[in-house]
Structure 1
Amino acid sequence: MHLFRLDASIRVAGSVSRALADTAEQAWLAEHHDAVVTRRELGLEPLPADAWARAVRAQLDPSAPPAPDAKELVERLSAELLEADAYIFAIPLYNWGVPAHVKTWIDLVSLNPRFGGAGDRPLAGRPAVLTLSRGGGYGPGAPKEGWDHNGPYLRRILGEVLHLDVHVAEAELTLADVNPAMAPLRGLAADLLKAGHEHAATHGRRIAELARA
């Protein structure tokens, strides 16, 4: 069995999205002891920000310089997805949206004509865990309700563009312990984090079962 894991946090210590993904991965490995795990470290090793623009320009503009490195990168990123049986994506909310380095990855992967609505959907139905972290509160009635432009976007990309079977584990109010203004929310934040890890473990076991089926 083969697991693909993508991490987008720019932190290692203290990263909640990584911690939730660790829980999901451990649950996966408990079912598949000899599994291969391919890691794509976007947060610490971001992809070239101009790769997508150069690749597309080379396709559309005859006067543009060729971009063989960008084409090779698209092929490599696509292969990482195609070779896996299941997936874990660990992506925090940054500035109310999808991290820039994740958007670069999505843009490059989307250059593969096999992915998306016009392709043959090679990843359709493969199981994935998406772990999300949010420093504040974005639920109904919260001051920032509707400001989370990361989770909804990722659900659509992974579920409706790549056609993965996506299971979400998430935690918010993750800055409560370090932000004095959020001190009254620390109990709730702890409860949400605990629930996030419980969901991550459940989903890790679930995608292990689905990948084996």
Structure 2
Amino acid sequence: MTETLLRIDTSARHEGSVTRELGDRIEAKLNAGKIIRRDLADQVIPQLDAGWLHAAFTSDEERTTEQRDHLALSDRLIAEIQEADTLLLTVPVYNFNVPASLKSWVDMIARAGITFRYTESGAVGLLDGKRAILAIASGGTEVDSAIDHATPWLRQVLNFVGITDIQVVRSDKQAVDPEASKARAETDLENLAA
């Protein structure tokens, strides 16, 4: 049983979404004591702008009220991750990559000094000890193929902030071979540790 699960849905579709369906099945298998939900189709995460960047690179004690307001959503999103033991990201592959909403979410949570820090030997993630499960679906892109810019990027981002225990449940290439896609998902679900 997972203690606290942070579920992040990214599909623009609520009905007929393979990733949301996979997410439901994974969530049931994990049987979390507490679930934090964030649906990026329902809440638009703004892109970074000059005000946000200036606020993020101003020391906490020197930030103005306006700068704190710029970072308020970022602070909430980071607090959700910090509280979670497991992250479940349900991600359709749109045009070989993640939905733009997920990229905006990543930009909000990758904060120097909070989720990672720089050292002489490079960046060190500060969110270690957590697990991530990626539920990935695509029409024609094979997970981890040369044209998949979603799955490797997500692994890189999660590793960057310290999350290295990452499992993938995939239902890829649905438009190419729906039965094989479904079979891959079933195998991945069976192999997923609760």
Q: TM-score, normalised by structure 1?
A: 0.75
- Cα displacement string for residues 13-62 of structure 1 (whole angstroms, at most 9, x for unaligned residues): 11111111111111001xx4xx1100111123221234x5421034569x
| Mapped contact 1:9–1:44 kept (Cα < 8 A) | no
How far the C-alpha of 1:172 sits from its partner, in A, is 1.5
Structure with more contact order per residue of length (Cα contacts < 8 Å, sep ≥ 6): 1
Gaps of 5+ in 1: 177-184, 209-213
Note closer, same or farther for the CA distance 1:59–1:47 as it changes in structure 2 (3 Å cut): closer
How far the C-alpha of 1:167 sits from its partner, in A, is 0.5
| Mapped contact 2:4–2:86 kept (Cα < 8 A) | yes
Is 1:134 equivalent to 2:134 in the alignment?
A: no
Task: Give, in whole Å, the separation in 1 of the partners of 2:158 and 2:35.
Answer: 19
Is 1:39 equivalent to 2:37 in the alignment?
A: yes
Task: Give, in whole Å, the separation in 2 of the partners of 1:127 and 1:194.
Answer: 24
- Aligned-pair identity in percent equals 29
1:181 aligns to what? none
1:155 aligns to what? 155
Is 1:55 equivalent to 2:52 in the alignment?
A: yes
Note closer, same or farther for the CA distance 1:77–1:71 as it changes in structure 2 (3 Å cut): same
Note closer, same or farther for the CA distance 1:3–1:127 as it changes in structure 2 (3 Å cut): same
* Higher relative strand content: 2
Q: Which has more radius of gyration?
A: 1
Note closer, same or farther for the CA distance 1:44–1:190 as it changes in structure 2 (3 Å cut): farther
1:70 aligns to what? 70
Task: Give, in whole Å, the separation in 1 of the partners of 2:126 and 2:56.
Answer: 24
SS of the residue 1:80 aligns to: helix
Q: TM-score, normalised by structure 2?
A: 0.82
Please, what is the CA RMSD of the aligned residues?
Answer: 2.7
Task: Give, in whole Å, the separation in 1 of the partners of 2:84 and 2:134.
Answer: 15
Q: Counterpart of 1:13 in structure 2: which amino acid?
A: E
List structure 1 runs of 4+ shifted beyond 6 angstroms.
Answer: none
| Mapped contact 1:131–1:170 kept (Cα < 8 A) | yes
The number of aligned residues is 184
| Mapped contact 1:7–1:41 kept (Cα < 8 A) | yes
How far the C-alpha of 1:9 sits from its partner, in A, is 0.3
Q: Counterpart of 1:136 in structure 2: which amino acid?
A: G
Note closer, same or farther for the CA distance 1:76–1:112 as it changes in structure 2 (3 Å cut): farther
Question: Match for 1:197 among 171, 174, 186?
Answer: 186
* Higher relative helix content: 1
Is 1:4 equivalent to 2:6 in the alignment?
A: yes
1:106 aligns to what? 106
SS of the residue 2:116 aligns to: coil
Q: Counterpart of 2:29 in structure 1: which amino acid?
A: A
Gaps of 5+ in 2: 59-64
Task: Give, in whole Å, the separation in 1 of the partners of 2:75 and 2:191.
Answer: 32
- Cα displacement string for residues 151-171 of structure 1 (whole angstroms, at most 9, x for unaligned residues): 110111113433231001111
SS of the residue 1:153 aligns to: helix
